[in-house]
């Protein structure tokens, strides 16, 4: 898919389709009004007949509009003008792109980026339009024997800006958006692969291939023999014939700054181990490596953007299976930190691999910030649903930075408390810590567990169990989140560093 930005009058665009907005009730946007003028009222006449009310997401494809050089004009309902906000803007962009793709317009000029979105500038509108467009066109059909091909697919879209003064800003926004969208696609592709394809070894090989594309990117792969002190991680891997891999990606593009470390949970399939999960929807447990996938996607986007920053991606990759050698409820293991852990539930395995990865970050780097990303608890889905990530941190400025990046990118998070009151829920009579608390506040006690291994640096935990994928037959698949949030956070950090 090719994206461009430019400024120009809509009636002078030689293209397969011009896309313009209509507000509710039947009010032409400024660009649509210009087309109406050159067509001597054709659009107004169509609206008076009631063909389009202007409700958000409605579309009407028109042919033979006089005074234009386009083959078609696509009218897109935008809702009420004063109510046009972030989410509605993304929705109308996605609807416009889907309609273009399905109706044979192989290329188009879209003027929806000239709409007035409350509190947002041109750069934001361009960024969100490109990311929404890529999302709308995403498919995962690599493993189908016969792929369904659209006869005349959308191949090129030009997003319009109101004036030439905005072009430079819009072009930078377009560049950033395409790299972030590519990172999201990489995360989706990895997560959507089934576990017989996407194994810990496969992820390690993917890291190596990614490094070949970028001079500033390198990787280390630790095999089982080099993980001998990671007792918590190895306990999870014991029940599977698939060997664990500990993947470290290093992006270095700033000699003066300590690295930001991203730690992604990489359980390529989670059966629950001896504490076996119910069979219903267990196929979705291939998505238990979405944290790892998001680290791949973010590192890729950062490398493509050539951000002046140092980022380390750490991915503990394992498979959790109920084999004859599997760890059992009641077993006690020693983590890389030296703390002992009583494993009361083998299905609480993500925190076990993460705690060793978090300790590795402390022992091998001097991290400025550490952020872990994990499909960690079903309790987070119950608490927050599918819209925001659960966010818990030990550092208030980091909380604010991540929330702001999420709000700007549309990849939102919501803070949950990380109070010491919850720590006693993890007490064990036999070990330093139990790997689960009680029924209550499962998301928070999971983060409290991880906090025991992060006391020497600024740390944030993103629970993405409700946001990493969507269920259901039609729209099932990985979302690629939180690649937009993480990449925006890193972009913001670069801006802060340059201004300080």
Q: What is the pLDDT of residue 291?
A: 98
One-letter-per-residue 3-state SS of 326-390 = CCCCCEEEECCCCCEEEECCCCCCHHHHHHHHHHHHHHHCCCCEEEEEECCCHHHHHHHCCCCEE
Q: What is the pLDDT of residue 500?
A: 57
Query: How is residue 396 written in tokens?
Result: 């208030």
d(CA 381, CA 366): 33
Q: What is the pLDDT of residue 490?
A: 98
Q: What is the pLDDT of residue 148?
A: 74
Query: How is residue 202 written in tokens?
Result: 């496969």
Average pLDDT over every residue of 375-393: 97
Lowest-confidence region among 85-89, 148-152, 414-418, 489-493: 148-152
- pLDDT tens, residue by residue, 269-309: 999 999 999 999 999 999 999 999 999 999 999 999 999 99
User: Is 277 one of the annotated active-site residues of the chain?
Assistant: yes
Burial tier of 455 (Cβ tally within 10 Å: 0-12, 13-18, 19+) = exposed
- Active-site choice (127, 185, 351, 452): 351
DSSP secondary-structure letter at 23? E
DSSP secondary-structure letter at 275? S
Check whether domain 181-499 has CATH 3.40.50.460, yes or no:
no
Pairing status of strand 340-343 against strand 433-434? parallel
- pLDDT tens, residue by residue, 175-191: 999 999 999 999 999 99
User: 2-144+153-161: which CATH topology?
Assistant: 3.40.220
pTM of the complete model = 0.96
Query: For residue 499, is pLDDT > 80?
Result: no
Model confidence at 472, pLDDT cuts 50, 70, 90, reads confident
Query: How is residue 204 written in tokens?
Result: 């390690």
What are the φ/ψ torsions at residue 246 (nearest 5 degrees)?
Answer: -115, 110
Outline which parts of the chain fall under CATH 3.40.220.10. 2-144+153-161
Model confidence at 150, pLDDT cuts 50, 70, 90, reads low
Percent of the chain with pLDDT over 70: 99
Average pLDDT, the chain: 96
- pLDDT tens, residue by residue, 319-339: 999 999 999 999 999 999 999
- Active-site choice (55, 220, 243, 277): 277
Lowest-confidence region among 83-92, 242-251, 338-347, 491-500: 491-500
Q: What is the pLDDT of residue 104?
A: 87
Query: How is residue 13 written in tokens?
Result: 């665009």
User: Residue 246 pairs with which residues in a beta bridge?
Assistant: 222, 316
Average pLDDT over every residue of 137-141: 93
Query: How is residue 429 written in tokens?
Result: 């009579």
Query: For residue 418, is pLDDT > 60?
Result: yes
DSSP secondary-structure letter at 224? G
Outline which parts of the chain fall under CATH 3.40.630.10. 181-499
Model confidence at 498, pLDDT cuts 50, 70, 90, reads low
DSSP secondary-structure letter at 259? P
Percent of the chain with pLDDT over 90: 93
Task: Choose among 26, 132, 25: nearest CA to 89.
Answer: 132
């Amino acid at each position: 898919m090719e994206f461009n930005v430019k400024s120009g009058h809509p009636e002078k665009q030689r293209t397969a389709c011009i896309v313009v907005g209509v507000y509710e009730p039947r009010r032409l946007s400024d660009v649509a009004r210009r087309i109406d003028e050159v067509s001597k009222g054709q659009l107004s006449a169509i609206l008076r007949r009631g063909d389009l009310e202007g409700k958000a997401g409605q579309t009407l494809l028109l042919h033979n509009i006089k005074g234009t050089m386009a083959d078609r004009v696509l009218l897109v309902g935008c809702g009420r003008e004063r109510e046009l906000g972030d989410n509605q803007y993304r929705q109308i962009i996605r609807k416009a792109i889907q309609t273009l793709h399905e109706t044979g317009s192989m290329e188009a000029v879209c003027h929806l980026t000239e709409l007035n979105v409350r509190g947002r500038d041109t750069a934001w509108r361009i960024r969100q339009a490109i990311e929404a467009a890529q999302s709308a066109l995403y498919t995962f059909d690599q493993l189908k024997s016969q792929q369904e091909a659209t006869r005349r697919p959308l191949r090129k879209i030009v997003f319009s800006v109101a004036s030439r003064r905005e072009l430079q800003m819009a072009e930078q926004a377009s560049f950033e958006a395409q790299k972030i969208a590519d990172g999201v696609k990489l995360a989706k592709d990895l997560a959507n692969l089934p576990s017989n394809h996407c194994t810990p070894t496969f992820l390690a090989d993917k890291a190596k291939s990614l490094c070949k594309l970028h001079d500033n990117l390198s990787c280390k792969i630790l095999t089982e023999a080099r993980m001998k002190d990671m007792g918590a991680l190895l306990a999870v891997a014991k029940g599977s014939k698939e060997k664990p891999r500990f993947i470290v990606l290093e992006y270095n593009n700033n000699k003066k700054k300590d690295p930001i470390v991203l730690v992604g949970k990489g359980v390529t399939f989670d059966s629950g181990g001896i504490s076996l999960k119910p069979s219903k929807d267990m196929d979705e447990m291939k998505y238990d490596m979405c944290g790892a996938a998001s680290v791949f996607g973010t590192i890729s986007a950062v490398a493509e953007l050539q951000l002046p920053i140092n980022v380390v991606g750490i991915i503990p990759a394992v498979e959790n299976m109920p084999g004859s050698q599997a760890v059992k409820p009641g077993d006690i293991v020693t983590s890389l930190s030296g703390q002992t852990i009583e494993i009361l539930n083998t299905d609480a395995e993500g925190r076990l691999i993460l705690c060793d990865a978090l300790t590795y970050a402390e022992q091998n780097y001097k991290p400025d910030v550490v952020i872990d990303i994990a499909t960690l608890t079903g309790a987070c889905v119950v608490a927050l649903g599918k819209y925001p990530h659960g966010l818990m941190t030990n550092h208030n400025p980091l909380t604010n930075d991540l929330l702001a990046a999420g709000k700007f990118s549309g990849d939102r998070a919501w803070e949950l408390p990380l109070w010491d009151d919850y720590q006693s829920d993890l007490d064990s009579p036999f070990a330093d810590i139990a790997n689960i608390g009680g029924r209550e506040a499962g998301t928070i006690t999971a983060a409290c567990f991880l906090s025991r291994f992060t006391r020497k640096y600024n740390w944030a935990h993103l629970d993405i169990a409700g946001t990493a994928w969507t269920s259901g037959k039609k729209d099932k698949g990985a979302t690629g989140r939180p690649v937009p949030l993480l990449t925006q956070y890193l972009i913001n950090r670069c801006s802060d560093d340059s201004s300080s």
